[in-house]
Amino acid sequence: MIDSLYIAWKYIVANRAKTITLLSCITLIAILPISLELLLDESERQLLSRAATTPLVIGIRGSSLDLVMNTLYYGDEIPDFISMEAADQVSKSGLALPVPMYVRFQARGYPIVGTTLDYFEFRGLTLGEGRQLAILGDCVIGASVAEKLDLRPGDSLISSPENLLDLAGVYPLKMHVRGVLDKSHTTDDLAVFVDLKTAWVIEGLGHGHLDVTKTTDKSLVLRKTDTNVAATAKLEHYNEITEENIDTFHFHGNSSVYPVTAVIAVPHDEKSGTILQGRYLSRDEMLMIVKPKEVVDTMLQNIFRIRNVLDAVILVVGFATVLAIVLVFALSVRLRKREIGTIFRLGCRKLTIARFLGAEIGIIVIMSAVICTGILIVLNLYASDLVRMLFIR
Amino acid sequence: MIQIAGLNFQYAAGDFSLHIPVFTVERGEKVAVIGPSGSGKTTLLNLIAGILTPLKGSVNVHGVEVNGLTDRGRRDFRITTIGFVFQDFELLDYLNVFDNILHPYRISAALRLDKAVRERALKLAGDMGISAMTRRRSSDLSQGEKQRAAICRALLTQPKLLLADEATGNLDPSNKTKILDLLFRSVEDHDATLLAVTHDHELLPRFDRIVDFRDFWDG
Amino acid sequence: MPVILFVCYLFDEEDTMMRKRKNRCGGKRVALWVALAMVCLLLSPPLSFGKDKSLLTVYTVNYPLKYFAERIAGKYAQVFFPAPADEDPAYWMPEVQTITAYQQADLILLNGAGYAKWVSKATLPQSKLVDTSRSFSDRYIYMEEVFTHSHGPEGEHAHESLAFTTWIDFDLASQQARAIADAFIKKRPDLEKTFKRNFTSLAQDLHTLDSEIMFLVSLNQNQPFVGSHPVYDYFARRYGFNMISVHWEPDQAPSRQQWIELQTLLEEHPAHWMIWEGEPMASSKGKLLDMGVESLVFDPCGTVPDDEDFLDVMFRNIDNLRVAYR
């Protein structure tokens, strides 16, 4: 047996190109369905687990998938806004804890999630470094954001403008990193968390500036009455909230009309949840309430159908590859016909000839298996991050 | 050493037949077999080695009735008793010279590769003047060096009978003589019998006996 | 469970007779019952008496809410109001560490009506916030003559024009206390009776204050007053005070312009009393007296008083007010 392996190994080494080609084909055809299965299982697990832990989401009537993807996974599709009044209504009902979410802006490619402190308790997020949000302008970042942008508590992070041409729109705000969250292996690792009010400052609903009621610079005053001073556009708004200027920050208008993208509702019990859902059933209701688990289940069922198709395709491709591999081996045997003839003439038994050829196949298959195992181990280690990167966000 | 009597052979295709009433080779003899191409010289070697089996007759090699053995028996007998030297050397490109020499011991369970065999292989390589090339790939050797390696392979199993099929056929004149010298010396040193098929008439005087295959050929 | 087993043992007639006859086996039986009883004890749920639930940690944004919370919760809560005594809690900005302490509380009692400006700039857990004036938010008072600003020709005004000293309308104070009681009961439903009892006691005291002032004012409904600072809006509305306020501070000498404004005011509104948040400067008092205006202190008690509590301060306020109705 050892001699067969020795001869086979020598042959394999001497025919590297053929060996590598065969190895690649076998490895690919073996690893493809397994890794796809692994990644899909992991994505299903991630999607489902996050959805399962989010009881209800309230948003604008429309695409429940967009609403759930934006609220739970910070997807790029931003649903139409609802107002903070939706959260107030939930709070007043006494049926659930409202957790408003405003997922609209970005900072260096990462979503800025405007929310309340309740969100962190709801998701079980803990701080790894630094402290929690405390005042306007603070931000707390996910572990992956900290790693990728090399940020620590004490550093700053500027929000990105929504549109470079939108001069009167979203203000870049220099936020202060106050804390870094522990790795949660969820989408939260890739998010920048701010207080809802800070998100509204980014939008321009709140701002800080010189006190125009006291300024002597007439170019800053558009109109002055006995009770009100209207400022001109020349009045510069602070793009960073500091200890010195925080007192100047204020909001205009009523905060109950301020926008949010969704409200996560955590019912106090099942009965409260049912009652709460009932309140949004009316066709005239502008808002809708969805159960993320149901939405994701439906989505996954569709993916499952696609998965079946993918599996079938892989099966066909795999079969074709196996045929190709068999052909390669058959041709290889034919190429070695002379060698086989020689050892036959020297007195080699038929079984030994078969063993030589079998050993070659066996070594290639074992090498492929080792490579596959290595790839699968690595894939398993990074599956959750890969899935988030490739499929979820 | 070799006794063939009343041998009658025909290929399955039916287009060639061979009849040998009597053919003997004494032990230690160096016999050359000559004849026109297609007369059956190589067939004779194959019949003696048990690669082919006759329709009728007996083939007795070193006291063993070869055509009476099973296929496995003939292979084992062949590898332990007979050494082959081919016209095209038949070395394996993917093995080095030393591995090529040792090859019979790797392809047969009837032989056991041990330290003594390796030492013997090295000695043979030394005797053939190729000890410095044992770690080189056989494809890197010259024609003469390849044939020397092939002879080492054939002699490693200490065969009683050496069958050479046009062993000098692909060599230049100077190498032909050298290889034949080596072959003869090895056969004498190992107390073996040599049966060589050759087209090279210049080498014939060196053999003990010449067998003209036209005597057996049906034409 | 162990009680049942013990009773069974006591009333085990067969065992009683057997004990007399087979004393040597009695010991084994007792041991068996004891063992069974111990097993049952281990498997029984722990007994409830002496259960130690942790205290509620409550943070407030002013002293009145702290007082109300302490009256209602009694020994079942630790109530904190960390603003320094020399800072107006309405405009105080706590340090980050203090905000963190607020975040850790079980409940954060807000006054509402725009009080405690810092709340709109801090991050506090919504689930723990209690807006004690939410129940009467439709009756908030918007202050007049406050200078606002807006942006551009159509911009909205800044919302700094709400009056926020709600607790000196003792009827509203009672509603705020009720909101606190409700929040406590939600957190500790097992103490509902205690909290309700304590709230009733507090509400009774607030009602006493309310009634006394009602009575006082009824003696001379239209008597004009000047408020030294616009903190008496809810007080004035509740008790029907004929009051107009200026923007003076007790520890600051009014400017010449301010004296002139007061003079102008008094021509239309001939008040003989100015109500101060705190003891005014002697010079201010003197000059007012020259103008025929006496001073009395009605301390809103937004910060922690020295050696007194909220009720003490309010009763003292009423005594001070009583002088104006003699």
Task: Tally the domains of chain B.
Answer: 1
How far is Cα C35 from Cα C60, in angstroms, rounded to an integer? 54
Whether the predicted pLDDT of C41 surpasses 70: no
- CATH code: domain C213-324 is 3.40.50.1980
Establish if B89 touches chain A: CB-CB under 8 angstroms.
no
- Between A224 and B35, the more confident residue is B35
In a domain, B188, yes or no: yes
- Residue C314 tokens read as 């309010």
Task: Please name the amino acid found at residue A46.
Answer: Q
Please tell me the predicted confidence (pLDDT) of residue C11.
Answer: 39
Whether the predicted pLDDT of C284 surpasses 50: yes
From A111-125, A188-202, A261-275, B169-183, the region with the lowest mean pLDDT: B169-183
Q: Kindly report the CATH number assigned to the domain that includes residue B170.
A: 3.40.50.300
Please tell me the predicted confidence (pLDDT) of residue C47.
Answer: 43
Whether the predicted pLDDT of A112 surpasses 50: yes
For residue A348, the chain B residues in CB contact (below 8 A) are: 75, 79, 107-108
Q: Are C209 and C314 contacting, i.e. CB atoms less than 8 angstroms apart?
A: yes
Contact yes or no for B103 and A343 at CB 8 A:
yes
Contact yes or no for A231 and C149 at CB 8 A:
yes
For residue B99, the chain A residues in CB contact (below 8 A) are: 10
Domain ranges of chain A: 2-47+299-392, 56-208+249-290
In a domain, B34, yes or no: yes
Partner residue opposite A14 with nearest CB, options B90, B94, B110: B94
pLDDT bin (cut points 50, 70, 90) of residue C138 is very high
Whether the predicted pLDDT of A165 surpasses 70: no
CA distances B87 to B173, B181, B186, Å, are 15, 16, 18
**Arithmetic mean of pLDDT over chain B:** 87
Question: What is the average per-residue pLDDT within C59-88?
Answer: 96
* DSSP letter (8 states) at residue A255: G
Task: Please name the amino acid found at residue C245.
Answer: S
For residue A121, the chain C residues in CB contact (below 8 A) are: 125, 127
What backbone torsions phi and psi does residue A27 show, to the nearest 5 degrees? -65, -45
Residues 41-70 of B with CB under 8 A from A: 46, 49, 51
Please tell me the predicted confidence (pLDDT) of residue A287.
Answer: 93
Please tell me the predicted confidence (pLDDT) of residue A257.
Answer: 92
From A94-98, B175-179, C167-171, the region with the lowest mean pLDDT: B175-179
Task: Establish how many alpha carbons lie within 13 A of residue A83's alpha carbon, considering only the half-sphere containing its beta carbon.
Answer: 11
Domain ranges of chain C: 2-43, 56-148+155-210, 213-324
* Residue spans of beta strands (DSSP E) within B94-140: none
Which residue in chain A has the smallest CA separation from C119?
A135
Taking only the tens place, the pLDDT of each residue in C232-270 is 999 999 999 999 999 898 888 999 999 999 999 999 999
| Mutation for B interface: A337, A345, A357, most B CBs within 10 A | A345
Question: What is the average per-residue pLDDT within A97-106?
Answer: 95
Q: To the nearest whole percent, how much of chain B has pLDDT over 70? A: 98
Evaluate whether ipTM surpasses 0.90.
Answer: no
Question: What is the average per-residue pLDDT within C290-319?
Answer: 94
CATH superfamily of C56-148+155-210: Nitrogenase molybdenum iron protein domain (3.40.50.1980)
Alpha helices in chain A (DSSP H): 2-14, 16-52, 64-73, 85-93, 118-123, 143-149, 196-203, 270-278, 292-335, 337-346, 350-387
CB pairs < 8 Å spanning A and C = 102
Interface A:B, ≥3 CB–CB pairs < 8 Å: yes
Contact yes or no for A347 and B77 at CB 8 A:
yes
Please tell me the predicted confidence (pLDDT) of residue C8.
Answer: 43
Please tell me the predicted confidence (pLDDT) of residue A387.
Answer: 78
Contact yes or no for C125 and A254 at CB 8 A:
no
Torsion sign over Cα A148, A153, A155, A157: positive
Whether the predicted pLDDT of C159 surpasses 50: no
Residues 116-175 of A with CB under 8 A from B: none
Whether the predicted pLDDT of C45 surpasses 60: no
Chains touching A, CB cut-off 8 Å, 3+ pairs? B, C
pLDDT bin (cut points 50, 70, 90) of residue C155 is low
Residue A234, beta-bridge partner list: none
Please tell me the predicted confidence (pLDDT) of residue C238.
Answer: 95
For residue B165, the chain A residues in CB contact (below 8 A) are: none
Question: What is the average per-residue pLDDT within B118-142?
Answer: 89
Taking only the tens place, the pLDDT of each residue in A346-369 is 888 888 888 888 888 889 889 999
Please tell me the predicted confidence (pLDDT) of residue A278.
Answer: 93
Contact yes or no for B80 and A347 at CB 8 A:
yes
> CA nearest A271: which of A123, A96, A97?
A96
Establish if A340 touches chain B: CB-CB under 8 angstroms.
no
Please tell me the predicted confidence (pLDDT) of residue A235.
Answer: 67
Q: Are C64 and C175 contacting, i.e. CB atoms less than 8 angstroms apart?
A: no
How far is Cα C157 from Cα A227, in angstroms, rounded to an integer? 10
Structural domain boundaries, residue B210: 29-39+72-215
CA distances B182 to B25, B189, B191, Å, are 21, 10, 14
- Between A125 and C13, the more confident residue is A125
Contact yes or no for B104 and A347 at CB 8 A:
yes
> What is the biggest distance separating any 2 CA atoms in chain A, rounded to whole angstroms?
117
Q: Are A36 and A386 contacting, i.e. CB atoms less than 8 angstroms apart?
A: no
Please tell me the predicted confidence (pLDDT) of residue C14.
Answer: 38
pLDDT bin (cut points 50, 70, 90) of residue A272 is very high
Contact yes or no for A250 and C127 at CB 8 A:
no
Whether the predicted pLDDT of C104 surpasses 60: yes
**Arithmetic mean of pLDDT over chain C:** 85
Please tell me the predicted confidence (pLDDT) of residue A168.
Answer: 55
Which residue in chain A has the smallest CA separation from B82?
A346
Taking only the tens place, the pLDDT of each residue in B53-86 is 888 888 998 888 988 889 888 988 989 999 998 8
Please tell me the predicted confidence (pLDDT) of residue A169.
Answer: 60
Taking only the tens place, the pLDDT of each residue in C161-209 is 789 999 999 999 999 999 999 999 999 999 999 999 999 999 999 999 9
Question: What is the average per-residue pLDDT within A319-338?
Answer: 83
Please tell me the predicted confidence (pLDDT) of residue B188.
Answer: 86
- Between C35 and B188, the more confident residue is B188
Contact yes or no for A346 and B78 at CB 8 A:
yes
Please tell me the predicted confidence (pLDDT) of residue C49.
Answer: 41
How far is Cα A189 from Cα C188, in angstroms, rounded to an integer? 35
Q: Are C149 and A231 contacting, i.e. CB atoms less than 8 angstroms apart?
A: yes
- Between A260 and C142, the more confident residue is A260
Q: How near does any CA of chain A get to the CA of C160, in Å?
A: 9
Whether the predicted pLDDT of A261 surpasses 60: yes
Question: What is the average per-residue pLDDT within A268-286?
Answer: 89
Taking only the tens place, the pLDDT of each residue in C50-71 is 334 689 999 999 999 999 999 9
Please tell me the predicted confidence (pLDDT) of residue A330.
Answer: 85
Question: What is the average per-residue pLDDT within A41-56?
Answer: 87
Q: Enumerate long-range contacts of B141-148, CB under 8 Å, 24 or more apart.
A: B141/B97, B143/B89, B143/B170, B143/B171, B143/B172, B143/B175, B144/B171, B144/B172, B144/B175, B144/B178, B144/B179, B146/B89, B146/B91, B147/B85, B147/B89, B147/B171, B147/B175, B147/B179, B148/B179, B148/B182
For residue A135, the chain C residues in CB contact (below 8 A) are: 96, 99, 121-123
Establish if A233 touches chain C: CB-CB under 8 angstroms.
yes
Residue A299: count of CB within 10 angstroms of its CB: 16
